[in-house]
Amino acid sequence: MKKQLPILTMILPAFICTPRFLNALQRLLLSAIFLLPLAGVTACISLKTEYPKTTYYRLEDKPVQKAAKSVPEGLLVKPFTIDSEFDTDHIIVMASGTEAQPLQYHRWTSEPQELITANITNRLQQSNFFAQGVFTPASSVVPGLQLEGRITECLARGAAQEGNIVSLRIHCTVQRLDSIGRTSVLLQKVYSQTLRRVNDGGASIAPAMSEAVSALGDALLADLTALLVR
């Protein structure tokens, strides 16, 4: 450091290069030497700051009660549609009485309409109520009955609104398809389920929504049983 100061005395005017000035300059250079490595370490720590981990959820399959009696019918379940505000893999919560917001770090494994369609299809199939089976559009079989659903609400609410709950609402239509492709409506109904969740955390939403979807599927099956069993 001392060897570098004479060089500065040759560059700077003589009236500036007083002993006092040179001592101050030496202290400044020494401080810079120690502070620069610390600044580099701080920058590295900032670059390594970790964001919260995103957690993905699916709907849990709940036990299915077997139907007491089956019907000689087959059912086609068409992919459910969903209102645009819920058409995202982000889990939706009501931030206020009128504002719905997606959770950034809590997501479904796929769009909720896909999960709900698959869950209800599987539930109807496992009930053994339809003797000819339950089918999806990928099947080459064209059964006599078909189910369509429109999801109009699929979200969680916090304690500030109505308590820690999940809310699910689906408009379901069951039609009969005749041999020449004409349809007639057998059932048209809006099914709603509201269930409490254990707390206001994002991780509590999927288990409660699983219960809601299962209960809604069971209610649909009960109506189909009353309609088709003679």
Domain residue extents for the chain: 4-47, 55-228
Cβ atoms within 10 Å of 43's Cβ, excluding its own:
10
pTM of the model: 0.78
Q: Output the CA torsion 209→214→218→224 (10° steps).
A: 90
Checking if the pLDDT of 181 tops 80, the result is: no
**Contact, 61 vs 128, CB < 8 A?**
no
**The pLDDT value given to residue 18:** 65
CATH superfamily of 55-228: ABC-type transport auxiliary lipoprotein component (3.40.50.10610)
Q: Which residue has the higher pLDDT, 182 or 40?
A: 182
- Give 107-121 pLDDT, tens digit per residue: 999 999 999 999 999
Find out whether 193 and 147 touch, Cβ atoms under 8 Å: no
CA atoms within 13 A on the CB side of 122: 14
Assess whether pLDDT exceeds 70 at residue 1: no
